[in-house]
Structure 1
Amino acid sequence: MPSSSPLSGKLVTVFGGSGFFGTHVAQALLSRGARLRIAARHPEAAFSLKPLANLGQLQFARCNVLDERSVRACVQGADVVVNLVGSFEGNLMKLMGEAAGTIARAAADEGAGAMVQVSAIGADPDSPTQYAQAKALGEKLVSDAFPGATILRPSIIFGEDDNFLNMFAGLIRMMPALPVFGPESELQLVHVDDCAEAVAIAAENPAKFGGKTYELGGPEKLTMMEINERIAAAQRRRRSFIPMPDALSGAFAALPGTPMGTDQWTLLKQGSTVSGDLPGFKAFGIEPAPLGLYLDRWMTRYRKHGRFSEKLASAGKS
């Protein structure tokens, strides 16, 4: 990162900035001296960022992205606009499709110099899932309204406080035998800070990255079975993993109240790997980090005796 960033002193509005990914993006932008406006339904969820900001560097705005007036109020005066809004709940076509277009139009009207739209690998108007259709619609509407926008398509983003690894880690801690949905599905899990860095670099240099689409995948392809096995090994637990037939796991996902909905199951079955047809992390000068670099340390709290497990094991050998 350069000592003096083009973002220094610039106002960046981050829609969806209070979530898991958003707080990491915010840190990457704050470290570059940007002034941030976190626009979200529940901006108070990002109050943990306050100690990282200088006086006057961080502000919070309650925003409903389905309300154009609310969006325009949050974009007012912004030099850069970043849209991270994503969900598997609600009207996805409006939330991730139409709202993205509203944000892009507001950014263009306000004269913002750059926009970064975070989409997802698999965004496709012909997808069987509404999630992928909505992401594709968002890409189109953003490109139409703000042709210089940078579109990033990450694979599944992982981090110490994510909802992906921690969901499986919790199940593995509790259950001696677990079903594995889509056991052969391949994922290129990508570290949250690598993705956040790509967002910040794109925002810094719209002349280089604007108007293009990038696919962001991790350095290795892992099947869902391998991911579960790695989590169990990092927890120092012996577990039995049962590959589930597609018909059975698909039927389970269709039931109400399950932790995985039909869209999520369909996307999981399809896998999440880069196509190779679009540029990726290399274009940003980023060497993506593998899961193994962090997993053992993160799983410490899920072990039988937590951080004391290693001490107990050492004591038993003496």
Structure 2
Amino acid sequence: MAHPSEQLVTVFGGSGFIGRHVVRALAKRGYRVRVAVRRPDLANFLQPLGNVGQIHAVQANLRYPDSVARAVKGADAVVNLVGILAEKGRQRFDTVQASGAKAIADAAAREGITRFVQMSAIGADAESASAYARSKAAGEEAVKIAIKDAIILRPSIVFGPEDDFFNRFA
């Protein structure tokens, strides 16, 4: 296996709460990190988390397969942390968490990437009454079909410094 500094990890959703911690941890371990976000200019705050040039933001929109393909090209691993807690405008559970996960996993599979981490959620279930839980389950299934050995994480509520959940109530 190559030294971490020779390996590139693409992180979708890297500018979010969990993402910034993942980006920081990868950079600290010496990986080069490509952060795939809709607005790279809003992810510049991540650059100081690593050495000069170690963290780079690129534009990717889950609705546009070419942008997703560009974001994973040449990567050794992919982490998908994209998710929404509430639907708003064009950001729908199915579009983001099911179709989006599928687009990322399919693009990674076409690149021959086998190291893939999918952030799902506790309670993800295709039979759930919750559209959120159903979309997370659909995303998991799409990832498993595209990348057999993908790692799927199912956390419950995630909170901590810089979160936008519990600190909202403080």
Q: What TM-score results when the alignment is normalised by the length of structure 1?
A: 0.50
Q: CA deviation at 1:80?
A: 0.3
Preserved CA contact (<8 Å) 1:7 1:32: yes
Within the alignment, does 1:131 sit opposite 2:132 as a pair?
A: yes
Within the alignment, does 1:160 sit opposite 2:157 as a pair?
A: no
Aligned to 1:74: 71
Q: CA deviation at 1:109?
A: 1.1
Aligned to 2:107: 106
User: 1:97-130, CA deviations, whole angstroms, 9 ceiling, x for partnerless residues?
Assistant: 0111111111111112400000000101111111
Q: How does 1:187-226 map to 2 (within 5 A)?
A: none
Q: How large is the RMSD of aligned CA atoms in angstroms? A: 1.4
Partner secondary structure for residue 73 of structure 1: helix
Q: CA deviation at 1:44?
A: 2.8
Aligned to 2:144: 143
Aligned to 2:26: 29
User: 1:149-169, CA deviations, whole angstroms, 9 ceiling, x for partnerless residues?
Assistant: 000011111112111111211
Partner secondary structure for residue 6 of structure 2: coil
Q: CA deviation at 1:45?
A: 2.9
Within the alignment, does 1:54 sit opposite 2:51 as a pair?
A: yes
Preserved CA contact (<8 Å) 2:63 2:100: yes
Whole-angstrom CA distance in 2 between matches of 1:124 and 1:66: 24
Max radius of gyration: which structure? 1
Percent of matched pairs sharing the same residue: 50
Amino acid at match of 2:169: F
Aligned to 2:119: 118
Partner secondary structure for residue 71 of structure 2: helix
Q: CA deviation at 1:35?
A: 0.5
Gaps of 5+ in 1: 170-318
Preserved CA contact (<8 Å) 1:7 1:33: yes
Q: How does 1:162-311 map to 2 (within 5 A)?
A: 162-169=163-170
User: 1:187-225, CA deviations, whole angstroms, 9 ceiling, x for partnerless residues?
Assistant: xxxxxxxxxxxxxxxxxxxxxxxxxxxxxxxxxxxxxxx
Q: CA deviation at 1:6?
A: 5.3
User: 1:42-62, CA deviations, whole angstroms, 9 ceiling, x for partnerless residues?
Assistant: 233332222222232111111
Partner secondary structure for residue 74 of structure 2: coil
User: 1:229-251, CA deviations, whole angstroms, 9 ceiling, x for partnerless residues?
Assistant: xxxxxxxxxxxxxxxxxxxxxxx
Within the alignment, does 1:85 sit opposite 2:86 as a pair?
A: no
Within the alignment, does 1:94 sit opposite 2:91 as a pair?
A: no
Structure with larger RCO (C-alpha < 8 A, sep 6+): 2
Per residue, is there more helix in 1 or in 2? 1
Whole-angstrom CA distance in 1 between matches of 2:132 and 2:83: 9
Per the alignment, do residues 158 and 6 of structure 1 end up closer, same or farther by CA in structure 2, a change over 3 Å counting?
farther
Preserved CA contact (<8 Å) 2:15 2:46: no
Gaps of 5+ in 2: none
Partner secondary structure for residue 117 of structure 1: strand
Preserved CA contact (<8 Å) 1:36 1:58: yes
Amino acid at match of 1:116: V
Partner secondary structure for residue 37 of structure 1: strand
Partner secondary structure for residue 86 of structure 1: coil
Aligned to 2:6: 9
Q: Alignment length, in residue pairs?
A: 165
